[in-house]
Each structure stands twice: as structure tokens, then as C-alpha cells.
Amino acid sequence: MTYQQRSTFTNNPTAKKLFELMDSKQTNLAIAADVTTKAEILKIAQELGSEICVLKTHIDIIVDFDQELTKELRELADKHNFLIFEDRKFADIGNTVQYQYRDGIYHIVEWADITNAHIVPGQGVIEGLKEVGLPKGRGLLLLAEMSSAENLAVGDYTQKAIEWAQKYDDFVIGFIGMKKLIDNPKFIVMTPGVKLAAGTDNLKQQYNTPEKVISGGSDVIIVGRGIYKAEDPQAEAKKYREAGWEAYKKRN
Ligand code: 5BU
């Protein structure tokens, strides 16, 4: 099924928008913009915006963060037609994650289309985030699997994530996973740990190629250092975009 066709299976507005823009823009590339200054992240959003479906942020690593930044990122997202995914990995009781999602200095729910959560606290983490995010049409990804070596998100844990995603499918739009996890077209799988050359880093990150990830049934490749550390990030982003899209076309 095409991304466009899959958009009709979900009622979540963010999931719909993502499927539609991936198809119209012809990209399944997300960039992990793991840089530490406003200037750097804005440069990435500006220069790579036309190549990507999703800009993934770690907003709490920006040393000169201010409210202007999220406003500007939002403007760039609307201008270049990509979604913003704050990779916050919420992991507390429902009441606490509500504060973390809505309040503090980041007000994540105000500007991030998508965020994600560990399921280790149980279903309360999903319910808490949903009360804050769903009225704004936001979407949540559950961490069903991770990319790092020897991580514990395997087996029954992964199965629980799949079960709870179906239970809360108005708000949970899919997973962080390494492959296709469930035969239901409404759920999106995004995969980190992607590089044109498979391998590892020195801190137990594990990389697969775009071809392997997409042919395995994942929908979005998340690429960080493979792009932003390259000499010419724009040219590199085009390569990843093409590799991801070719693999998708081959699959369909
Ligand atoms: P890299 O530079 O392409 O290795 O960056 C990967 C990004 O994906 C980085 O922002 C991580 O925080 C993020 N990530 C990951 O690498 N593995 C995971 O399982 C999850 C997130 Br969840």
C-alpha cells in the first residue's frame, strides 16, 4: 500500500498529514538534528527542509534555547512542509508527563507534531500524554524497539507496545522500531540508526542501510550524523532521500 492509501486508515490528523506529505513530497527521510545551537538547527531546517518529511529534535540540548526558536522552527515546518518530532522519550507516570509535555520552558505540545514515549511506566504514560496532545491533534510514537546494542525493548516488551498502540490508536500513530511490527496500515514505523554504510559508533549505536530498513517494512528512516556531519549535508540528504524512496518504490 502507498503512504497515501494508508492515510485513509487513520483518524489521527498528524498521521494523516504525515502519510500525505510523504507521498506528495516523495520523501521518507527524517533528519535527527542533534546540534546544540539555535543557529545550527535553524540552518538544518532551512537547508534540508525540502528533502525531509520530519525534523526530529532534542530541544533540551540547545544551549541558547528561547521561545523564538520553536516559533521559527514551526514557521519553517509550515513553509517547507515537514513535521516536527520532539524525541522526548517520556517515561514517567501520567500526571508528571502531562507537566513535561505541556509546561516547563519547552511547552512541547505547542510546537511538536509528534513526540514519543517509553512504555516502561505502563499505560498511564500514554493516557497522560493523550489528554494533553490529542485535543491539539498531535501524535505519539511508542518505543517498541531501539537501535542500540543490548537494549531491553525486545520480546514481550515490544509486544506490549504493539498491544497498547492498538488500544490507544486515536493518539498513538506508530512506533520507533527496527522493522514492520504489525499488519495494520494505520501505524507508522520510524527507524533510527541508519547510515549508507552499516556499522556501529563507539557508544553502541547500531546502523543499518536505508535499503535494509525500508525493505524490512519500516516507513521512515531517521538519519543524524550520516547527514549533519557530512561535508555537504544537503548533497548527503539527497542521497539518503533517494535511497529511502527507491527502497519504498521497490517494496510497493
Ligand atoms: P545518529 O547520529 O543517526 O546515530 O542519530 C540517531 C538519532 O536517533 C539520535 O537523535 C538518537 O537520540 C535517536 N534514537 C536512536 O538513535 N535510537 C533509538 O532507539 C531511539 C532514538 Br528511540
pLDDT tens per residue across span 68-84: 999 999 999 999 999 99
Determine the Cα angle at 173 with ends 228 and 206, to 5°.
40
Q: Burial level of 118, CB count in 10 A (0-12/13-18/19+)?
A: middle
Residue 235, pLDDT score: 98
pLDDT tens per residue across span 131-164: 999 999 999 999 999 999 999 999 999 999 999 9
pLDDT < 50 stretches in the chain: none
Nearest CA to ligand 1 atom 17: 147
CA distance 126 to 143: 12
pTM of the prediction? 0.98
Whose CA is closest to 108, among 56, 152, 146? Answer: 56
CA distance 174 to 14: 11
Reply yes or no on whether 130 is catalytic.
no
Q: Is 223 in the pocket of ligand 1 (CB under 6 A)?
A: yes
Q: What is the DSSP pairing of strand 29-32 with strand 54-57? A: parallel
- What fold is seen in the domain 3-251? TIM Barrel (3.20.20)
Q: Is 29 in the pocket of ligand 1 (CB under 6 A)?
A: no
Q: Is 34 in the pocket of ligand 1 (CB under 6 A)?
A: yes
Residue 73, pLDDT score: 98
Ligand 1 atom at minimum distance from 151 CA: 19
Residue 89, pLDDT score: 99
Cα distances from 10 to residues 15, 19, 132, 170, in angstroms, run 7, 10, 19, 8
CA torsion sign, 132 to 138 to 88 to 105? negative
Q: What are phi and psi of 55, to 5 degrees?
A: -105, 115
Residue 252, pLDDT score: 86
- Which residues fall within 8 angstroms of residue 158, CB to CB, at 6 or more apart? 144, 145, 177, 181
The helix/strand/coil state of 85 is strand
Domain-wise residue ranges, the chain: 3-251
Q: What are phi and psi of 49, to 5 degrees?
A: -50, -35
